[in-house]
């Protein structure tokens, strides 16, 4: 199970949050979500552990959580991560629950990625390409470890693979 921690704007469109969500069972942990008021609107998801950004079309909002899973599969695959790790994450993401945000640092990264995405959107082509480009952005919370989300998610995948050999 995965916990999707949404901003108020996101939760107003997608659904009611649980007051006490159970912990995520995914390796990557919780995902944070916000709405980008573009035409058409998009949902920006950022992983709490690695700050990996994933953009998904918002409409229809009732199915955006279900559409996150296949988009995460594409993004992880395009980043060259091991198939066993991707399969494990997707299995763990089978069920999702909504919750309110709990980490201000990740909310700050949601806002930063939102501003960068708006700037790069005209030249990006599509949301998937934009997600891949955002993953290479150096992030302040990662400076002492992996610098950008792409390297952080690769290290998380490698650690999981070493543990499960």
Q: What would the 3-class secondary structure string for the chain be?
A: CEEEEECHHHHHHHCCCCCCCCCCCCCCCCEEEEEECCCCCEEEEEECCCCCEEEEECCCHHHHHHHHHHHHHHHHHHCCCCHHHHHHHHHHCCCEEEEECCCHHHHHHHHHHHHHHHHHHHHHCCHHHHHHHHCCCCCHHHCCCCCCHHHHHHHHHHHHHHHCC
**Distance between CA 161 and CA 51 in Å, rounded?**
20
User: What pLDDT was estimated at residue 146?
Assistant: 77
Q: What is the pTM of this model?
A: 0.95
Cβ atoms within 10 Å, residue 47:
23
User: What pLDDT was estimated at residue 156?
Assistant: 94
User: What pLDDT was estimated at residue 147?
Assistant: 84
CATH of 2-163 given 3.30.1460, 3.30.70, 2.40.30, 3.30.420: 3.30.420
- Tokens representing 43 are 């949902």
Q: How far is CA 62 from the centre of its chain?
A: 18
User: What pLDDT was estimated at residue 27?
Assistant: 96
User: What pLDDT was estimated at residue 165?
Assistant: 78
**Distance between CA 58 and CA 41 in Å, rounded?**
6
Q: What is the mean pLDDT of each run of 10 residues along the chain (165 residues)?
A: 97 92 95 96 97 96 96 97 96 96 95 96 93 93 82 94 89
**Distance between CA 9 and CA 35 in Å, rounded?**
6
User: What pLDDT was estimated at residue 112?
Assistant: 95
User: What pLDDT was estimated at residue 127?
Assistant: 97
User: What pLDDT was estimated at residue 63?
Assistant: 95
């Amino acid at each position: 199970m995965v916990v999707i921690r949404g901003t108020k704007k996101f939760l107003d469109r997608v659904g009611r949050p649980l007051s006490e969500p159970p912990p995520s069972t995914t390796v990557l942990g919780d995902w944070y979500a916000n709405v980008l008021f573009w035409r058409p609107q998009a949902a920006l998801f950022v992983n709490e552990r690695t700050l990996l950004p994933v953009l998904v079309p918002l409409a229809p909002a009732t199915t955006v959580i279900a559409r996150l899973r296949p988009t995460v599969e594409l993004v992880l695959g395009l980043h060259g991560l091991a198939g066993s790790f991707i399969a494990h994450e997707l299995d763990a993401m089978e069920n999702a629950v909504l919750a309110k945000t709990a980490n201000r640092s990740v909310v700050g990264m949601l806002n930063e990625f939102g501003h960068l995405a708006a700037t790069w959107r005209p030249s990006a082509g599509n949301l998937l390409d934009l997600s891949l480009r955002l993953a290479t952005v150096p992030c302040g919370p990662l400076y002492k470890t992996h610098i950008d989300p792409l390297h952080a998610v690769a290290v998380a995948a490698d650690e999981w693979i070493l543990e499960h050999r």
